[in-house]
Amino acid sequence: MKLNERVFEVLNGEPVEVQNLDGHEVKIYILDDYPDVLNEFVNKGKFAVWSCVDGTNYKLAIEKGYYDELRELYSDKVNDTWLKFWDECEKISSTFSKKIVLPATAVIIVIFVVLMALSNKMPGKLGTYLTLGLAIFYVLVILILRKLTTNKINIANQNALAVIKKNLGEAHFNDLLERQRNYIDAYYDTLSAKEEAEASANEENANELKETEETTEAEKEESNNNEETEVKEKEVVETTEEASNETSKNE
């Protein structure tokens, strides 16, 4: 099944683990080595990202601390269950598109063409109303079928979780889920504290820059005032000297 194809292409480094499972290959990568992908998915609450382009070769990127804490959730046996789930999703999606959507679309197109051809022979705007009704009917059918498909995928997901829970044991599985919740909560608390510290540091830097600019402006203004004072003093001295010289001449 095709999953996160862009991520698959980005994960081109050396995997930390390779699993060969029933004709599938799973390469495990550390998500932290790809900061852009890390930020994109962690912000969505996802610490593990599956990706695939051909339905056979998979790449799984996991946040480092999450991987270290919950490695059992990505063991060969667990991942084999998830691969079967992805295969089931592929079958469901293929059935939806090839056996339902395409035939339904073909039938609708034929009916639409017939209605368009006969619309001039129909009284009033009957042809237009029938065409509009057909379009609405088609959209509703697609939405209903998509909903049914989503429900089937959700059921397949629940079945996969049930298998994993059975293999790990209910008590141990629940313990892993608790550790998962605790890790995620702690991760976001740390991330939030880091962001607040960075915001505070940026604010302090901005205030310091503002104070520096104000000090520089004050010093500049004081310098200008001193220059003006010196000029005025010089003018007074020159005026006094001229007056003194004039007095001497008169004497």
SS3 track for 146-201: HHHHHHHHHHHHHHHHHHHHHHHCHHHHHHHHHHHHHHHHHHHHHHHHHHHHHHHH
The structure's pTM equals 0.69
Whether 120 has a pLDDT exceeding 90, the answer reads no
Residue-wise pLDDT tens digits, 67-100: 999 999 999 999 999 999 999 999 988 888 777 7
Residue 51, classed as helix, strand or coil, is strand
Q: What is the pLDDT of residue 154?
A: 95
Residue 19, classed as helix, strand or coil, is strand
Domain boundaries in the chain? 1-73
Average pLDDT in the 180-194 region? 94
Q: What is the pLDDT of residue 134?
A: 84
The residues pairing with 230 across neighbouring beta strands, listed in sequence order, are none
